[in-house]
A and B are shown apart, each in its own frame.
Chain A
Amino acid sequence: MAKRERALAPPYGGVFVARTTVMDADDVRRATWRMAHEIIERNHDTRDVVVVGLQTGGVWLAQRLAQVVGEVNGEDVGLGTLDVAFYRDDIGLRPVLPEAATNIPFELTGKTVILVDDVLFTGRTIRAALNALADYGRARAVQLAVMVDRGHRELPIRPDYVGKNLPTRRDEMVDATEAGVIIGDVTAP
């Protein structure tokens, strides 16, 4: 679970109670490898591909994907981070983390941007991220990579690369990190 959700749950600071481990660290590593190869396969040439991770949950996956794509193709892939706190339509509901910063150290215009997040849920974060990206330049294409697609979309958004499709209840929480993917509940402390 991204730090923001952790800080958000019942008034600032719920406790995440793990219930089921859906993927372990090896499963996550294999899924990451597969997604990296799918990125290469889909885009043929990765010279114009850059990877942008969403703060804070998507950053680790973006780093891993950029690393694997770079190793396989023998060329470094641009890696950035994006914080969408100022673009959300639910500002006021989610705390702003001062340490979650945007850092896009390259020109986006003409690039194929792989937008990366840990868990795809309502799609509102991705909507905000697309608006934010537009302020940095006109990307040639934006593709979405997530470790977990847990359903319950509220906007017409779909992922291009998925680690695992995971049917969930709306009130459950999904924690996706390099160490594994866990379903659980958040309870008041």
Chain B
Amino acid sequence: MTDLRDTTSSLPEVPLDLADLAVRQHGSPRHLLSVADLGPQGITDILRLTDSFVEVSRRSIPKVPALRGKTVVSVFFEDSTRTRLSFETAARRLSADVMTFSASSSSLNKGESLKDTVLTIQAMGVDALVVRHSGSGVPWQVAGWLDGPSVLNAGDGWHEHPTQALLDCYTITRRLGLDPEEGLTGKRIAIVGDIRHSRVARSDVLAFTALGAEVTLVAPPTLLPPSLAGWPVSVTHDLDRLLPTLDVVYVLRLQRERMLEALLPSLREYTANYGLTRRRAALLEENALIMHPGPVNRGVEIASEVADQPGSVITAQVSNGVAVRMAVLFLLLGSGVDLASA
């Protein structure tokens, strides 16, 4: 691994080409697999549509008949509380029928393959599969097998979690009161913590930079990916110096369940160097946002008081998540609108 100690400087020119994203956005939005498929305009369009669904969620009857007669299945091969509930709530608020598949109580235990499982679900006549799997790329594989239903990636391994990135973009732009056309232009965002194991970080980097933000990753070298070639970000290990310059500090969960090797000397040392403690939170500008994708390890990556202080938008992220997922489901299943021509 390269020495990353003095790298507040940006990385060299990167192969991740935003012009390429602009080309890809003209593809049909039948599936939502990666943030990269949307492009800056696609992301902006979804955020705009989300405003309408935030309004729906505020009503006394927060339900519209837009997806009546459609069936959405959540197919989760990995544990989840908020993402699954959020998708299911979103589908119900659009009047879709919702089925839940959970791997632990399925015929997978009798040896049925992944392919047979999703083909069985398709044969029941569903319109969308919301897929989470611990293997990177599984939603792509599933989308390739299916013929008809939409596939929504609800998190695949360490790879991507596109709806999380969309709800994060929504939360930031609306909380900071930004012009939808300008996106995140010039905003400084730090993503702190376990980048290596984080699909949220990968999708967020794609989405934030697509909207024009300057993204800095902050993590111990052991929790950074083996190579950052192609990431349009800078890297630092000095959180204290960075904090006063930030518009958003995005704290990631320390994913202890994915750590197969000893990557950290101790949790206390991690908290001392990279945790968002009360002392560090005081270094932030008054209007800066504190974000976390949940679930929160209170006292590890973020102090309990900091998670609950006024600048923290962690619960807003969750409620915006429902509206963002309504927008995505509506776009894929209900509107008949090509994102590129809408």
Contact = CB atoms under 8 A, between A and B. Distances in A.
B65 A95 contact: no
B330 interface: yes
Residue among A86, A102, A131, A135 with max Cβ neighbours from chain B (10 Å): A86
Contacts of A101: 51-52, 55
Given A98-B52, A101-B52, A91 B66 contact: yes
A106 interface: no
Contacts of B341: 12
Given A96-B49, A98-B51, A87 B336 contact: no
A83 interface: yes
A135 B65 CA distance: 11
A91 B55 CA distance: 19
Interface string A97-134: 01101110000000000000000000000000001100
A144 B59 CA distance: 23
Contact of B60 (A85, A95, A99, A136): A136
Nearest to A131: B65
A135 B58 CA distance: 11
A96 B65 CA distance: 15
Given A95-B342, A96-B342, A135-B61, A87 B66 contact: yes
Interface string B19-55: 0000000000000000000000000010011011001
A91 to B, nearest CB: 5
A131 B65 CA distance: 9
Nearest to B338: A12
Contacts of A102: 52, 55-56
A126 to B, nearest CB: 16
Nearest to A91: B334
A98 B56 CA distance: 14
A132 B64 CA distance: 8
Nearest to B51: A101
Contacts, number: 58
A137 to B, nearest CB: 7
Contact of B334 (A92, A131, A135): A92
Nearest to B64: A86
B67 to A, nearest CB: 8
Interface string B61-105: 101111000000000000000000000000000100000000000
Nearest to B66: A86
Nearest to A13: B341
Given A99-B48, A101-B51, A136-B59, A92 B336 contact: yes
A101 B60 CA distance: 17
Contacts of B45: 98
B318 to A, nearest CB: 22
Interface in B141-177: none
A93 interface: yes
A95 B59 contact: no
Nearest to B54: A101
Nearest to B49: A98
Nearest to B180: A98
22 contacts: A85-B52, A85-B66, A85-B335, A86-B52, A86-B56, A86-B64, A86-B94, A91-B66, A91-B334, A92-B335, A96-B49, A96-B52, A98-B48, A98-B51, A99-B48, A101-B51, A102-B56, A103-B55, A132-B64, A135-B60, A136-B59, A137-B60
Interface of B: 45, 48-49, 51-52, 55-56, 59-61, 63-66, 94, 330, 334-337, 341-342
- 4 nearest A-B pairs in the assembled complex, by CB-CB distance: A92-B336, A98-B48, A86-B64, A86-B66
